[in-house]
Amino acid sequence: MTSRPPRISRTGKSLIGFTYMLFIVLLLVPLLQIVFGAGKQGMGSFTQSLLRPEALHAMWMTFSVVVVVTLLNTFFGILTAIVIVRGDWLGRRVRQLMNSIIDLPFAVSPVIGGFMIVLLLGPHTVLGAFLAKVGMPVVYAFPGMVLATLFVTFPLMVREVVPVLQEIGTQQEEAASLLGAYSWTTFWKVTWPSIRWGVTYGVVLTIARSLGEFGAVLVVSGNIINKTQTMTTLVYQDVDNFNIAAANSVSLVLAVGSVTLLLLMEWAKKRKGVQADAH
Residue spans of alpha helices (H) in the chain: 10-23, 29-39, 43-51, 53-86, 92-102, 104-107, 110-121, 126-133, 142-168, 171-178, 183-186, 192-212, 215-221, 231-240, 244-278
For 99, counting Cβ atoms within 10 Å of its Cβ (0-12 exposed, 13-18 middle, 19+ buried), the class is middle
Report which of 219, 209, 215, 214 is spatially closest to residue 58, judged by C-alpha positions. 214
Least confident range of 24-33, 52-61, 222-231: 24-33
Q: Which fold has domain 47-278?
A: MetI-like fold (1.10.3720)
Q: CA dist 154 to 80, 101, 106, 200, 277, Å?
A: 10, 11, 10, 15, 27
Q: CA dist 114 to 108, 152, 221, Å?
A: 10, 9, 9
pTM for the structure as a whole: 0.83
Which 8-state DSSP code applies to residue 90?
G
Helix H or strand E segment including 140: none
Which pLDDT does position 1 carry in this prediction? 44
Which 8-state DSSP code applies to residue 71?
H
Does the pLDDT value for residue 278 go beyond 50? yes
Q: Are 88 and 174 in contact (CB under 8 A)?
A: no
Residue pLDDT, tens place only, 25-42 = 777 777 777 777 777 777
Does the pLDDT value for residue 133 go beyond 50? yes
For residues 192-201, give the mean pLDDT.
87
Residue pLDDT, tens place only, 84-120 = 888 777 777 877 888 888 888 888 889 999 999 999 9
